[in-house]
Chain A
Amino acid sequence: MKKLAIIAAAAAFLGLAQAPVVQAAEEVEIPSHDWSFSGMFGTFDRAKQQRGLQVYREVCAACHGLRLVAFRNLADLGYNEDEIRSLAADYQVEDGPDENGDMFMRDGVASDRFPAPFPNENAARMANNGALPPDLSLITKARQQGPDYLYHLLLGYQDPPAGVEMMDGMYYNAYFPGHQIAMAPPLMEGAISYADGTPATTQQMAEDVTYFLTWAAEPNLEARKQMGMKVILFLLIFTGLLYAVKRKVWADLH
């Protein structure tokens, strides 16, 4: 009983310690979406991830980098070696210097990472009305409630409420902190045609790309949760045995 009380106290303390951090960010309440990867048994959804990759490549990649993800990592999404090789070859990657000392462009290979859309920050700002499109490699971990936030942000474009003065070139978004975002609404109904024939609604695209980017931020999520099951199951049995041993050892004292 005492043990339980200690655990409860520790959990309550952690809860207390964490709760204010969430509130301190002055953010709008973000509704939670149902994700296959949440919960103890969570796994990714390969079809959604593959469609999400397509959304990233055809929509997001125009402005957003994915510098921590290599083409070889796409094997996690169910692509085979040949598919990854040909996908990588769609990109041009700077290499060199060659024997003349010059840098040159070549087709991407599996070990390359996704090339950046802009050569540097200034170029990115120049092309985006002064705003810097963030790299998306860790975006779902770099925001509170990352996947929910991303999904609702992508769908959160609205007309500004009466009385809200919009800055030049900014768009009203219900979920962006401060509500004025420099990114134009990125997802248009039917903007892409999915390879698997799924209708490309904005909700569908937002969900798919969130699946893809959640994997990009935490590629080991499935392995982690599966290992956790085994570890905790082992620990439960082990601790149960220790409890029995402890009772037996202490029996002669009581």
Chain B
Amino acid sequence: MSGFKTNNRTIKWLDSRLPVFSTMNHHLIDYPAPRNLNYLWNFGSLAGIVLVVMIITGILLAMQYTPHVDMAFDSVERIMRDVNYGWLIRYMHMNGASFFFIVVYAHMLRGLYYGSYKAPREVLWGLGVIILLLMMATAFMGYVLPWGQMSFWGATVITNLFSAIPWGIGDALVTWLWGGFSVDNPTLNRFFALHYLLPFIIVAVVFLHLWALHAFGSNNPLGIDAKGPQDKIPFHPYYTVKDLLGLGVFLIIFAGFIFYAPNYMGHPDNYIEANPLVTPAHIVPEWYFLPFYAMLRAITFDIGIPFTGITLIDAKLGGVLVMFGSIIILFFLPWLDTSPVRSSRFRPLYKLFFWVLVVALLVLGYVGAMPPEQPWVTIGQIATAYYFAHFLIVMPLLGKLERPKPLPASIADPVLKPGPATNQ
């Protein structure tokens, strides 16, 4: 780690007054990273790049878009038909939203698998969960803007969730959110304003996320701390080139969707202009919300004191609490997991339950797209129960019951001399 050196006098002059160059050097060039990061560590930088792509395409779209209920749909079609390369920019933005979630979900699952949320990275993880919440809000409001049928009805269903809050607060809150008595022009206007604002807040939280990351550096597939300089390599050129290679692969898949299946992840009903008088046969959210939508709908029963008929939490409020709780619970993950070992590589039981969780999430995603009928309701309830049990019961218990495999002495040890201790 050589520190920043230059012979350019202008750069020296500026850097002594505002150390941008030495800071960039410190965080992007010399920054020491574990030498054994695998390709799953690419998703962090990919998420950052997708965020930038979304902001650039979004600003270009905003220059042509009209946030008015009578004009929004047609202004999007004008972008698609009459604006130079408008179709390209819009398809990038539309599919970019889906790919942002793909990348971030992969990034989170990597963190779960390798225990990246554990001490001393609890704040790093918590900031990530905040980014996820902000992304969800941004994506939801963005989906409303084209003012198609799913935009309108999705907005109606989701904003109505707040009416589940008791004591008369809910209904008043929903009216306040709408700016009226239904999803209408004021709603569209404020959603546009917030959809433009939130990405910049995401950028700010991403900086905090990176700040927290650079306090201790990346976790790694072995989940053990670096023992010395032989365990680390400078970020540049090793990880700049590795991240770029991952970006290349990502862009090929991304371009495949943009150019050959641009509407694959969308819903055809959103090419029908919003009509408050016609409800679509099935209102489904975008695919990346389906697991949470399934959890929302899993609570089909009131929760009360048995045999007294007293209802404490009705089914609707219960569903809302479960849905939001499914994200909030992630904040507590670093303390729910009681095992001192980070990586699943040395935790045979946890590894098994990790994959059960992944299956539960896929099942929830499938159930979320199904009509609320049997057998989907019961399947959704079982998967929801497992989701919460995984964090509240399995994780605390596994730390006590599981006997982890022996950890390698250092990162450099198994990397330089691959032995039977690792299974990768």
Residues of A at the B interface (CB closer than 8 Å) are 2-3, 6-7, 10, 13-14, 16-21, 23-26, 40, 68, 73, 134, 137-138, 141-144, 146, 177, 217, 219-220, 224-225, 227-228, 231-232, 235-236, 238-239, 242-243, 245-246, 249-250, 253
> Could you tell me if B233 and A142 are in contact, using CB atoms closer than 8 angstroms?
no
In the complex, what residues of B have CB within 8 A of residue A137's CB?
A: 77
Q: Are A141 and B263 in contact (CB under 8 A)?
A: yes
Q: Which single residue of chain B is at the shortest CB-CB distance from A236?
A: B252
A148 to B80, CA, bound (A): 23
Known: A3-B246, A141-B271. 8 other contacts (CB 8 A): A6-B39, A17-B265, A18-B264, A68-B81, A228-B256, A228-B260, A235-B251, A250-B242
B253→A7 contact, CB < 8 A: yes
Among A14, A24, A224, A232, which residue has its beta carbon within 8 angstroms of that of B262?
A224
Smallest distance from the beta carbon of B163 to chain A beta carbons, Å? 25
Residues of chain B within 8 A of A146, CB atoms compared: 268
> Which of A3, A18, A250 makes the CB contact (< 8 A) with B249?
A3
B 64-88 contacts with A by CB, 8 A: 74, 77, 80-81, 87-88
Tell whether, in the assembled complex, residue A232 and residue B256 are in contact, meaning their CB atoms are under 8 Å apart.
yes
CB neighbours of A23 from chain B (8 A): 369-370
Kindly list chain A residues whose C-beta atoms are within 8 Å of the C-beta of B241. 242, 245-246, 249-250
Chain A residues, Cβ within 8 Å of B421:
none
Q: Which of A10, A14, A21, A242 contacts B284 (CB 8 A)?
A: A21
Cα–Cα distance between A228 and B256 once the two chains are bound (Å) = 7
| Contact A25:B260 (CB < 8 A) given known A228-B255, A246-B242 | no
Residues of chain B lying within 8 A (CB to CB) of residue A243:
245, 248
> Contacts of A24 on B, CB cut-off 8 Å?
282, 284, 369-371
Indicate the member of A40, A220, A246 with the most B CB atoms within 10 Å. A246
Please determine whether A17 and B284 come into contact, CB atoms closer than 8 angstroms: no
With A143-B268, A249-B238 as known contacts, state yes or no: A17 contacts B290, CB within 8 Å. yes
Complex: chain B residue closest to A227, CB-CB: B259
Contact at A6–B40, with CB atoms within 8 Å? yes
Would you call A16 and B362 a contact (CB within 8 A)? yes
Q: Are B87 and A142 in contact (CB under 8 A)?
A: no
Q: Are A6 and B106 in contact, CB atoms less than 8 angstroms apart?
A: yes
What residue of chain A has the Cβ atom nearest to residue B262's Cβ? A224
Which of A13, A68, A231, A239 interacts with B245 by CB under 8 Å?
A: A239
B244: A residues at CB distance < 8 A: 242, 246
Say yes or no: is B258 at the interface (Cβ < 8 Å to chain A): yes
Contact partner of B268 (CB less than 8 A), chosen from A3, A141, A235, is A141
Interchain CA distance A25-B237 in the complex, whole Å: 50
Of all chain B residues, which has the CB nearest A22?
A: B369
A-B contact pairs, 12 of them (CB 8 A): A17-B287, A18-B287, A24-B371, A25-B281, A142-B269, A146-B268, A177-B281, A228-B258, A232-B256, A232-B259, A236-B252, A239-B251
Q: A7-B253, A13-B102, A227-B88 are in contact. Are A253 and B287 (CB under 8 A)?
A: no
Considering residues A17, A23, A224, A239, which has the most beta carbons from chain B within 10 angstroms of its beta carbon?
A17
B272 contacts chain A at the CB level, 8 A cutoff: yes
Cα of A236 to Cα of B255 in the assembled complex, Å: 11
Q: A68-B81, A249-B237, A253-B35 are in contact. Are A239 and B249 (CB under 8 A)?
A: yes
Is B12 located at the chain interface by the 8 A CB criterion? Answer: no
List, in ascending order, chain B residues with CB within 8 A of A14's CB. 102, 264-265, 287
A21–B268 Cα gap in the complex (Å)? 10
Are A239 and B255 CB-contacts (below 8 A) given A249-B237, A253-B233? no
Q: Which residues of A contact B388 (CB under 8 A)?
A: none
* Given A18-B287, A242-B244; A68-B253 close (CB under 8 Å): no
State whether A17 touches B370 (Cβ < 8 A): no
Q: Which residues of B contact A228 (CB under 8 A)?
A: 255-256, 258-260
> Which chain B residues (327-342) contact chain A, with CB distance < 8 Å?
none
A247 CB, nearest partner CB in chain B, Å: 9
Per-residue CB proximity of B353-387 to A under 8 Å, as 1/0? Answer: 00000000010011011110000000000000000
B38: interface (CB < 8 Å): yes
B118-154 interface code vs A (CB 8 A; 1 in, 0 out): 0000000000000000000000000000000000000
10 smallest beta-carbon distances between A and B, as pairs: A228-B259, A239-B248, A20-B369, A142-B271, A17-B287, A141-B271, A242-B245, A138-B271, A220-B87, A246-B245
Tell me the complex Cα distance, A25–B284, Å: 10
